[in-house]
Chain A
């Protein structure tokens, strides 16, 4: 859906841009033609890029759609009945032909399939030539014949075609994301694997073939009723090669490739190049481009753009999000501790002080829903290197983080306080309570960083790099740590943006610090009353690890079933009960 909206905006923007650049609505006509070809191009994306069947006959399906529409308009009284019926009949004929040709031809591979489909395409072109019907066809009524010719018609046609294009784009997306699309891609990647999985190769190839034929037939019908003139040549071998150029240059994997390719192959010549380029030079250039793309850039422009986006543009994109997010106002205060470090915190309520320490990639926002604990003055602080607190040089030094929290407690004069740490914050809380026992009255550790260190997989650092270099990766990682509330996209979005405020070095260094954490020696003689709370479905810290932490500290262990790593987010009420209940006891 987001891609459809984005594409719609891009189309409208290009229409406005074309109007502004040329000062007329003629360009909108060219863009309409681009979208008509793009619909056929999407058909090619489905059959070539996603099913891996090189068909050079699909221009024939455009011809079938176009000529059928033109003939029915001619034969029936009134324009629209003919247009509608012609389009439908064209579709039906295209489907029948696709079945007739596809059923035998799709058993072939490589060259043979290409020859068979070219034979089909040229055969249909020749047959159209021979049909007793005036050829070329002139004066096909326009789809918006009611609108007087001129700029109004250009604009309305543009929006009509854009709407139809977007409908087919959405249909294509749905198909490619459905099990059908998965099977298509499986066939593309390995027919043997697809067959051993139980895929009916012929049936699925045929489905893709028919679907793409439908896209092409619709494009042909639209071509007829927007261009008004048809020649058999329009849908001959050259059109087949044009369709190939569209998908290969635009990108055969993503449906957007159809639009990009169509813009380059159909749009650019119609808009500018035909005026300035000498005859033949365009064909020459497109020939060279086809070879270059096949050899050097087989994934085409659309996929190329996606790759550039993921490989090159993510850091600036994330920096931009961080910049905007920092500008947004946030309720809270900043205090300067005795070391001169500014620390940001929020507080709520009156009573004995209750201090929350958030986990890795977190901030005070993780405790937003648990700030009102009756009888307490709850304070949520951003640890140094996190959120809106200062960045310090010792990224990943848990003890240093604890010292800064100790300074913070002094600055606010809230010690000894009731301390609640979550995940990495629990590690900080342990360190604080062990080395500054007088500042901590009671301690609750929620899904704590294991006291004897976290176990990291071999591919963990690769994962961290992904998270660091991809906003989407970061978001899915945050969502994962949100446990049962992973589906709450608004919250995930907010917490992801908060995570961006973290010192970037922390991505690697916090993980390393949690891996090498070992507080077991210091835990001897630990006296602070402590409760370890473990989420039964925690995917990050295991119950066994939490049990070891609790034993080392001589603490109670409570396992909360049905929640993951983030009790304060997943079940705020229960979290508050646990926190309040432990203090009373």
Chain B
């Protein structure tokens, strides 16, 4: 019971990160029609830029201590958005005609480009990254009948959960109540129709790419203290983010967030059983194949008589 609670408390913040990653991937997929396999890798480069900026602030003595992190984060986020817009402008806009398989290979090429850049400009070494909320973990101990319970909650996870919540809510609001949100949804549902009513779909695609990679950079910065910073730091997060998007069904953006939460918790829950220790990623990936085959529209999608 205790182990189970502990699994959930660690799993939910972790899953929220997968969810945010999946949200961005699903957003690009829905709107621009590309499944971006370089998502986490470009975010990784942004994290490296953030780290370099922090070090630069330290060396230059402009900002002291923990504030350097907060001063550097905007730089990293902007770099993420810039990468997104550049990928769309320089590459994706030119290759819209290719088949899904070719598009996928192009993003795999981008993955290599980002990984190579990271190795070339920075290094393959593992670097540590500051937490948003440093400090000792919270420990909840039950009393009385719940004496057995002792759950550890990492302080940084509080930040992770808060940020994830805020971002999810604000994204929901943006998608629902703003013009650009409407345009993004329209672009995804009916590109020709969107163009007919005067939406510049190319600009929408650029915005989506920028927004999605900005989001991925947020995830990267939140994950970095755990994985540390290195060229493949976001590989698993990206793969599980894609998995979350599959689980949620690419048709609904927030399905990805729920999918991510499920995966995060499932990962930790599998971990409880000693016999399955170490196999959690393998099991999740095999589960996802089953989801893909038997419920390709995602497990949250409502039953539909025909494909919308």
* A287–B29 CA distance with the chains assembled, in angstroms: 21
Report chain B residues within 8 Å CB of A130: 277-279, 282
Cross-chain contact B292 with A287 (CB below 8 angstroms): no
* Residue contact B116 to A282, C-beta cutoff 8 Å: yes
Considering the complex, give the chain A residue whose CB is closest to the CB of B95: A295
Contact of A118 with B239 at beta-carbon distance under 8 Å, contacts A130-B278, A278-B120 already known: yes
Interface-facing stretch out of A25-33, A105-113, A147-155, A389-397: A105-113
Question: Is B281 touching A290 in the complex (CB atoms < 8 A)?
Answer: no
A127 touches B109 (CB 8 A): no
A280 x B118 contact (CB < 8 A): yes
Contact with B along A70-110 (1 / 0, CB 8 A): 00000000000000000000000000000001001101111
> A129 at the A/B interface (Cβ < 8 Å)?
yes
Q: Quick check: B100 and A290 within 8 Å, CB to CB?
A: no
Confirm or deny: B10 has a beta carbon within 8 angstroms of a beta carbon on chain A.
no
In the complex the two chains form, is A295's CB within 8 Å of B98's CB?
yes
> B205 near A: Cβ within 8 Å?
no
For chain B, give the interface size range.
35 or more
User: Most A CB atoms within 10 A — which of B105, B117, B290?
Assistant: B105
Inter-chain CA distance A241–B35, complex, in Å, is 16
Name the distance in Å between A566's Cβ and chain B's nearest Cβ: 48
* Measured CA separation A310–B30 after assembly (Å): 43
Residues 213-256 (chain B) with a chain A CB within 8 angstroms: 231, 235, 239, 242-243, 246
Contacts of A285 in B (CB 8 A): 116
What is the minimal beta-carbon distance from A250 to any residue of chain B, in angstroms? 14
Q: What residues of chain A lie closer than 8 Å to B119, measured between beta carbons?
A: 279-280, 283
Contact with A along B85-123 (1 / 0, CB 8 A): 000000100110011111011101111111111111101
Q: Does residue B289 face the partner (Cβ distance < 8 Å to A)? A: yes
The closest CB in chain A to the CB of B118 belongs to: A280
> Is B196 interfacial (CB 8 A cutoff)?
no
In this complex, the member of B235, B242, B281, B285 whose beta carbon has the largest number of chain A beta carbons within 10 angstroms is B285
| Given known A-B contacts A111-B104, A119-B243, A294-B98, A284 and B112 have beta carbons under 8 A apart | yes
Within 8 A of B (CB), among A248-282: 248, 278-282
B279 touches A126 (CB 8 A): yes
Residue of A nearest to B121 (CB): A280
Q: In the complex, what residues of A have CB within 8 A of residue B100's CB?
A: 109-111, 114
Closest chain-B Cβ to A532's Cβ sits at a distance in Å of 58
A116 and B292 contact, CB distance less than 8 A: yes
The reply to whether B109 and A290 contact each other, CB–CB distance below 8 Å, is yes
Q: Determine whether A228 belongs to the interface, using a CB cutoff of 8 Å to chain B.
A: no
Q: Is A317 an interface position by the 8 A CB rule?
A: no
Q: Does A120 contact B (CB under 8 A)?
A: yes
A529 within 8 A of B: no
- Set of chain A residues within 8 Å of B60, measured between Cβ atoms: none
A287's partner among B35, B113, B123 (CB-CB below 8 A) is B113
Which residues from chain B contact A118 at a C-beta distance below 8 Å?
239, 242
Please tell me which one of the listed residues A105, A111, A284, A290 contacts residue B108 in the complex, with CB atoms under 8 A apart: A290
The yes or no answer to A13 lying at the interface (CB within 8 A) is no
Judged by a CB distance under 8 angstroms, whether B130 is at the interface is no
Decide yes or no: A120 and B120 within 8 Å by CB, A108-B293, A110-B100, A290-B112 being known contacts.
Answer: no
A526 on the interface (CB 8 Å rule)? no
- Asked if A120 contacts B285 (CB within 8 A), the reply is yes
**Interface mask (A230-251 → B, CB under 8 Å = 1, otherwise 0):** 0000000100010010001000
Establish whether residues B286 and A244, one from each chain, have CB atoms under 8 Å apart when the complex forms.
Answer: no
Number of residues from A at the complex interface, CB < 8 A: 45
Given contacts A115-B246, A283-B115, contact A107 B293 (CB under 8 A): yes
Chain A residues whose C-beta falls within 8 Å of the C-beta of B296 in the assembled complex = 108, 112
| Cβ-defined contact, A114 with B98, below 8 A | no
CB distance from B267 to the nearest CB of A (A): 11
B99 in contact with A291 (CB, 8 Å): no
A287 → B minimal CB distance (Å):
3
A34 to B134, CA, bound (A): 49
A288 to B104, CA, bound (A): 14
A10 to chain B, nearest CB (A): 28
Output the nearest chain A residue to B33 by Cβ-Cβ distance. Answer: A111
Collect the chain B residues with CB atoms within 8 Å of residue A112's CB. 292, 296
Contact B120 A287 (CB under 8 A): no
- A376: min CB distance to chain B, Å: 68
A123-B293 CB under 8 A given contacts A280-B119, A287-B110, A295-B106: no
B63 an interface residue at 8 Å Cβ cutoff?
Answer: no
Closest residue of chain B to A108 (Cβ to Cβ) is B292
**Contact among B106, B242, B293 for A291, CB-based, below 8 A:** B106
What B residues does A282 contact at CB under 8 A?
A: 116
CB of B3 within 8 Å of the partner chain: no
| B142 at the binding interface (Cβ < 8 Å) | no
Query: Across the interface, which residues of A come within 8 angstroms of B283, CB to CB?
Result: 123
User: Are B109 and A115 within 8 A (Cβ)?
Assistant: no
Partner of A104, one of B94, B231, B289: B289
Q: What chain A residues lie within 8 Å of B284 (beta carbons)?
A: 123
**A295 CB contacts on chain B under 8 angstroms:** 94-95, 98, 102, 106
Instruction: Say whether A286 faces chain B, with CB atoms less than 8 Å apart.
Output: yes
In the complex, what's the smallest C-beta–C-beta distance from B112 to chain A, in angstroms?
Answer: 3
- CB closest chain-B residue, reference A127: B282
How far is B42's CA from A370's CA once the two chains are assembled, in angstroms? 77
Q: Tell me whether A119 and B98 are in contact (CB under 8 A).
A: no
| Residues from chain B with Cβ under 8 Å of A123 in the complex | 281-286
Query: CB of A54 within 8 A of chain B?
Result: yes
Say how far A101's CB is from chain B's closest CB, in angstroms.
Answer: 7
Contact at B105–A290, with CB atoms within 8 Å? yes
> Within A122-140, which residues are at the interface with B (CB < 8 Å)?
122-124, 126-127, 129-130
Among A127, A241, A294, contact of B111 (Cβ-Cβ < 8 Å): A241
Shortest CB-to-CB span from B282 to chain A, Å, is 4
Tell me whether A115 and B35 are in contact in the complex, defined as CB-CB below 8 angstroms, given that A110-B100, A281-B120 are known contacts: yes
CB distance from B232 to the nearest CB of A (A): 8
- Asked if A453 lies at the interface with its beta carbon under 8 angstroms from chain B, I say no
Chain B nearest CB, measured from A192 CB (Å) = 15
Q: How far is the CB of A301 from chain B (nearest CB, A)?
A: 16
B window 269-305: CB within 8 A of A: 277-279, 281-286, 288-290, 292-294, 296
Residue interface mask A447-463, B partner, CB < 8 A = 1: 00000000000000000
Check B124 for interface membership: any CB of A closer than 8 A: yes
Which one, B114, B289, B294, contacts A119 given CB within 8 A?
Answer: B289
CB <8 Å contact, B112 and A287 = yes
- A27 → chain B closest CB, angstroms: 25
In the bound assembly, the distance between CA atoms of A114 and B277 in angstroms comes to 27
Q: Is A536 located at the chain interface by the 8 A CB criterion?
A: no
Task: Please name the residue on chain B nearest to A236 by beta carbon.
Answer: B235
Q: Which residues of B contact A280 (CB under 8 A)?
A: 115-121, 124, 231
Q: Which residues of B contact A (CB under 8 A)?
A: 29, 35, 91, 94-95, 98-102, 104-106, 108-121, 123-124, 231, 235, 239, 242-243, 246, 277-279, 281-286, 288-290, 292-294, 296
Q: List 9 A-B contacts (CB under 8 A).
A: A115-B35, A120-B286, A126-B285, A237-B235, A278-B120, A281-B116, A283-B115, A291-B110, A295-B98
Q: Which 4 A-B pairs have the closest CB atoms?
A: A280-B119, A284-B116, A287-B112, A130-B278
**Extra pairs beyond A280-B119, A280-B120, A291-B113 (5, CB < 8 Å):** A107-B293, A115-B242, A116-B293, A119-B292, A290-B105
